[in-house]
Structure 1
Amino acid sequence: MRDERGEGDMKVDETVPVEITDDGAPLRFVWRGVVYGVVSPPERWITRREWWRSAARAPRGGTVDLLELPVWRVDALPLTDGVHRVDGTFDLALDPIRGSWLLLGVFDDRVEQQLFA
């Protein structure tokens, strides 16, 4: 998996339904009508929410946990047909305020192969 963002990267920031394993890691998710299956162990880390772009506000006296987003970087393959099928790496985050999952970004392997072939 890539560590640096390059020209094949696409920032998304869309809410997506995610099916998780017993330990809370993403197993499958749906993005733009396509079901994706995770094909490698997820890499997990914490990032900060872009609070200045969000309409949702943390309650006064809230904890720093509301500003942090747990993120899983996963390699995934499309399991169903669709117009926008991507075979690549995805950053999925669990939004602690809304209790929903966000697709933060996509690293498209096809674009990367074209750029560095």
Structure 2
Amino acid sequence: MTIAPDAPTLTTHIPDAPVDVRFTPTGTPLAVRYDGTIWPVAAEPLHWYTRDSWWDTRTTAPRGIGNVVDIEHWRLQVRYSTSALLRTFELRRQPLSEQWLLTSITDS
């Protein structure tokens, strides 16, 4: 990941847009790549889990494949440069998935 030198403008984002996330060795997000721009994390992130009602979307849960109910979430305050305003990205990762999804962007 490299940081784009120009000030980016956010395009209208599609709900659940796939993003790339770079993490520290301890698992804390450092930066998010969205819409061709690197957004470094600029404040302490908030991390939580919710539960997936797998029984509504699947008739059975595969046996022995791992956790099928925990949805992982991060709320990150990011900015593309030190002088830019903070934006809040909310990310989600479904059970058994490696792909992070951007669920919302708000100005902080």
TM bracket, shorter-chain basis: 0.5 to 0.7
Q: 1:45-60, aligned counterparts within 5 Å?
A: 45-49=48-52, 59-60=61-62
**CA separation in 1, counterparts of 2:60 and 2:27?**
24
Alignment-mate amino acid for residue 74 of structure 1: L
Counterpart for residue 8 of structure 2: none
Which residue pairs with 1:15 in the alignment? 18
**Distance of aligned partners of 1:87 and 1:66 in 2 relative to their CA distance in 1, 3 Å threshold:** same
Q: CA RMSD in A?
A: 3.5
Select the structure that is richer in helix.
1
Q: How many Å apart are 1:19 and its aligned residue?
A: 0.5
Alignment of 1:67-86 (within 5 A): 67-79=69-81
Structure 1 residue 94, shift from structure 2 partner: 3.2
* Alpha-carbon distance, 1:69 to partner: 1.3
* Contact preservation (8 Å) 2:20, 2:32: yes
- The answer to which structure, 1 or 2, has the higher relative contact order (CA under 8 A, 6+ apart) is 1
Does structure 2 conserve the Cα–Cα contact (< 8 Å) formed by 1:11 and 1:106?
no
2:104 match: secondary structure: strand
* Count of residues in correspondence between the two structures: 94
Contact 1:90/1:103 (<8 A) preserved:
yes
**SS in structure 1 opposite 2:67?**
helix
- Match for residue 6 of structure 1? none
* Residue number in structure 2 paired with 1:4: none
If the length of structure 1 is used for normalisation, what is the TM-score? Answer: 0.61
Residue 20 (structure 2) pairs with residue 26 (structure 1): no
Provide the TM-score with structure 2 as the length reference: 0.65
What are the ranges of 5 or more consecutive residues in structure 2 without an aligned counterpart?
Answer: 1-12
Q: Does 1:43 align with 2:46?
A: yes
Report the CA distance shift for 1:13/1:61 in structure 2 as closer, same or farther (over 3 A). same
Higher-strand-fraction structure: 1
5+ residue gaps, structure 1: 1-9, 80-85, 110-117
